[in-house]
């Protein structure tokens, strides 16, 4: 099976787990120095957020890179919030460059059957977009005929199963200034998700996860 590598990699990690509310949070510490954090919804067994921390070399503390779900700092993203404040308090919010808050924003979501990308702040009609699966790059390429947006979206989930993205699995949809790209999960990916859940079953948490996992796998 082609996802065995990924499974072994997860197995090699030192795992910690905790439950807060209806979320189970898992922290993986891999032997090569990388760290991964995941958040599982306990009702559905779906990953809601996944973030990576790679060791950086020069610049002190490394930052989390979000692979899946919303970035936490989006909540106080409000670009010109510090306008009214005096200079002293504004220095706390130092930044070098950032995309303005009207720029398109890409987020990824995973459901039981699909992988979903939402690109917010995209006002153009559906005909403008061209979404292609690029098997060579192992990515989905979004381009626009008016040359306003272009993005190469890598799909690490498919890479883990060793699959290239397939055009037939892509559907797009445009609504409320948002472009939604949906990719139907291949069977092998669903299988991998189930395997990962099995793996996590053995990770200790304060609460007993056994019953929950059983009911999820039964579905």
Partner 1 sequence: MAEAEKIEVRDITRIERIGAHSHIRGLGLDDVLEARAVSQGMVGQKDARRAAGVVVQMVREGKIAGRCILLAGEPSTGKTAIAVGMAQALGTETPFTSMSGSEIYSLEMSKTEALSQALRKSIGVRIKEETEIIEGEVVEIQIERPATGTGQKVGKVTLKTTEMETNYDLGNKIIECFMKEKIQAGDVITIDKASGKVNKLGRSFTRARDYDATGAQTRFVQCPEGELQKRKEVVHTVTLHEIDVINSRTHGFLALFSGDTGEIKQEVRDQINNKVLEWREEGKAEINPGVLFIDEVHMLDIECFSFLNRALESDMAPVVVMATNRGITRIRGTNYRSPHGIPIDLLDRMIIIRTVPYSEKEVKEILKIRCEEEDCIMHPDALTILTRIATDTSLRYAIQLITTANLVCRRRKATEVNTEDVKKVYSLFLDENRSSKILKEYQDDYMFSEINEHEELETAAGGSGGAKRRTETGGGDAQPMEH
Residues within the interface to partner 1 (CB under 8 A)? 56-60, 79-80, 82, 87, 90, 94-100, 102-104, 143-144, 147-152
CB nearer to partner 1: give 59 or 218.
59
| 117, 106 Cβ separation under 8 angstroms | yes
CB nearer to partner 1: give 66 or 196.
66
CB nearer to partner 1: give 10 or 140.
140
Element (H, E) at 54: none
CA 182 to chain centroid: 14
CB nearer to partner 1: give 8 or 100.
100
Q: String of b and e for 8-30 (b: at least 16 CB within 10 Å)?
A: ebbeebebebeeeeeebebbbee
Q: How far apart are CA 127 and CA 140, in angstroms?
A: 18
CB nearer to partner 1: give 94 or 136.
94
Residue 96 beta carbon to partner 1: minimum distance, rounded to whole angstroms: 4
The tokens for 72 are 């936490």
Q: For the chain, what's the residue count?
A: 219
Q: What is the CA radius of gyration of the chain?
A: 20
Residue 164 beta carbon to partner 1: minimum distance, rounded to whole angstroms: 20
Q: How far apart are CA 96 and CA 218, in angstroms?
A: 50
- Is 82 in a helix, a strand, or coil? helix
- Neighbouring-strand partners of residue 132: 141
CB nearer to partner 1: give 20 or 127.
127
Residue 103 beta carbon to partner 1: minimum distance, rounded to whole angstroms: 5
User: Of 22, 25, 35, which is closest to residue 63 (Cα–Cα)?
Assistant: 35
């Amino acid at each position: 099976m082609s996802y065995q590598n990924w499974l072994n990699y997860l197995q090699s990690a030192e795992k910690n787990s905790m439950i807060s509310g209806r979320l189970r949070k898992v922290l993986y510490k891999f032997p090569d120095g990388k760290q991964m954090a995941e958040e599982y919804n306990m009702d559905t067994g779906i990953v809601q957020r996944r973030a990576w921390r790679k060791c950086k070399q020069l610049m002190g503390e490394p930052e989390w890179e979000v692979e899946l779900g919303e970035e936490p700092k989006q909540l106080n993203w409000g670009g010109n919030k510090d306008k009214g404040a005096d200079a002293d308090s504004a220095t706390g919010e130092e930044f070098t460059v950032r995309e303005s808050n009207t720029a398109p924003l890409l987020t990824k979501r995973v459901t039981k059957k699909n992988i979903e990308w939402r690109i917010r702040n995209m006002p153009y009609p559906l005909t403008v977009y061209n979404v292609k699966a690029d098997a060579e790059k192992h990515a989905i390429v979004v381009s626009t005929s008016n040359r306003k947006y272009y993005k190469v979206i890598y799909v690490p989930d498919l890479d883990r199963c060793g699959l290239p993205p397939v055009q037939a699995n892509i559907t797009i949809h445009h609504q409320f200034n948002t472009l939604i790209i949906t990719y139907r999960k291949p069977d092998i990916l669903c299988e991998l998700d189930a395997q990962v859940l099995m793996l996590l079953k053995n990770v200790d948490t304060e609460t007993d996860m056994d019953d929950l996992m059983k009911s999820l796998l039964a579905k």
